Amino acid sequence: VALQRVRLDIEYDGTDYAGWQVQPRQATVQGVLEHALGLVLRRQVRLVGAGRTDAGVHATGQVAHADLPFPLDYRRIKAGINALTPASVVVTAIREASARFDARRSATGRAYVYRLATRPVAYGRQYLWSVHSAPSLAAMQRCARTLPGVHDFVSFCVARSAPKGTRCRVLEAKWGRAGAELRFRIVADRFVHGMVRSLVGSMVEVGLGRMTPEAFESLLKSGRRRGTGPAAPAEGLCLTRVFYPDDRPA
């Protein structure tokens, strides 16, 4: 069969999944999508995702590529996949891509948003970390301002082999208010494992006065592996966008 490389845009509620990447005997987002694609196309198809989100992490802007038989009606393929996946996983778009397009390697940046509530929350709690007191936005923003640029994020990396190292270029890092919520948005060329949750956990410690902004900055500069705050829980984190050369906002 002739094959066509396609780009898939994917949204998911990560609550019930052991993350993006296929793992034996676990429900994963990649797993349910490859299973649905297999049923629709009657052949095994492998997906390559741009961001390997962890267990419980959500995505509104995940991107993956796959090689599908050609020619095909991709709108029907999309409808077929969405009919076969649980409601917690949706393919929002499928389109033909260049044979050189690689969802992971072609990506020039990824954006994550972390959502924080400063009181117990029932409505929307699947997507928020409820901190039962109000951290100082100014103190957290002071930490965020130290992040842009190239740093070694070894202090904020969950111990695990990092074959490509732990240096990342942060392009944007900012706290803001959205109604009663506090939201942290970070864009970087790449992320090391557990990085956003570790950064948010430590910044919240600073916001609550349990760590100084100087101690946070020193963790960033020193590369020490001790002294970070506990990682923020997965449910507040969402992969919102993957950037590619010449692409426009979806």
Active site residue 247: no
Given the residues 9, 16, 54, 73, select the one marked as catalytic: 54
For the bound state, the minimum distance from the C-beta of residue 233 to a second copy, rounded and expressed in Å, comes to: 13
Q: To 5 degrees, how large is the angle CA 113–CA 115–CA 116?
A: 145
Residues that bind a second copy (CB under 8 A): 11-13, 58-60, 82, 87-90, 92, 119-127, 238
Helix (H) or strand (E) holding 203: helix 195-207
Query: Running DSSP on this structure, what letter comes out for residue 89?
Result: E
For the bound state, the minimum distance from the C-beta of residue 112 to a second copy, rounded and expressed in Å, comes to: 13
Comparing CB distances to a second copy, the nearer of 13 and 203 is: 13
Comparing CB distances to a second copy, the nearer of 140 and 242 is: 242
Comparing CB distances to a second copy, the nearer of 83 and 138 is: 83
| Cα torsion angle, 195, 200, 203, 209, sign | negative
Comparing CB distances to a second copy, the nearer of 192 and 238 is: 238
Let me know: does 33 contact 42? Beta carbons within 8 Å: no
Dist CA 149 CA 119 (whole Å) = 33
Let me know: does 48 contact 30? Beta carbons within 8 Å: no
For the bound state, the minimum distance from the C-beta of residue 180 to a second copy, rounded and expressed in Å, comes to: 10
For the bound state, the minimum distance from the C-beta of residue 123 to a second copy, rounded and expressed in Å, comes to: 5
Burial 123-158 (b: 16+ CB within 10 A, else e): eeeebbbebeeebebebbbbbbebbbeebbbbbbbe
Catalytic residues: 54
